[in-house]
Amino acid sequence: MRYLHANAKKQHHPFSKSVRLIRTLIVTLCFAIASAGAFAGESLLDFNGKPSDIEVNLGKGKWLVVMLWASDCHVCNQEAHQYITFHQQHTEKDASVLGVSLDGAEKKADAEEFIKKHNVNGSSAEFVGKNH
């Protein structure tokens, strides 16, 4: 049995970040598939008020990772940079990220602050808000 001193630093496996990102993407994909029915027939708006929908982003020969987020979601705030980085690294190759804000029209200002805070505009990921 191996014991670590309370102040000893935990060593991370070199692939631990990649494994966490892949795990997060898989969980998000499962959530997106499970939630797809909730968006069927729903109209979505981009932050300029123009209609948008998930189908526009499908059928381009690439994987589409749908990131459902809310401005007050701790996990969303913690992992947003991973999705943006993933999108930037894969958008020209094999995958892109579509972010869907669950904040709704009443919290649009909060959603816009989330986008600004995480520099989403610099990534070319399309973030739309659910139309209520």
Q: Which residue ranges make up each domain of the chain?
A: 45-130
In 3D space, the residue among 60, 99, 95, 103 whose CA is nearest the CA of residue 80 turns out to be 99
pLDDT at 72: 93
pLDDT at 18: 73
Classified by CATH at the fold level, domain 45-130 comes out as Glutaredoxin (3.40.30)
Q: Distance between CA atoms of 122 and 132, rounded to whole angstroms?
A: 27
pTM: 0.62
Q: Distance between CA atoms of 130 and 108, rounded to whole angstroms?
A: 10
What does the pLDDT look like over 51-69, one tens digit per residue? 776 777 777 788 888 888 8
Among the residues of 6-95, which ranges form H helices? 16-39, 74-90
Amino acid of residue 103: D
pLDDT at 76: 92
pLDDT at 47: 80
pLDDT of residue 80 exceeding 70: yes
What does the pLDDT look like over 106-119, one tens digit per residue? 888 999 999 999 98
SS3 32: helix
Amino acid of residue 56: V
Neighbours of 30 (CB within 10 A): 10
pLDDT band for 1, please (50, 70, 90 cuts): very low
pLDDT band for 7, please (50, 70, 90 cuts): low
In 3D space, the residue among 116, 50, 127, 52 whose CA is nearest the CA of residue 87 turns out to be 127
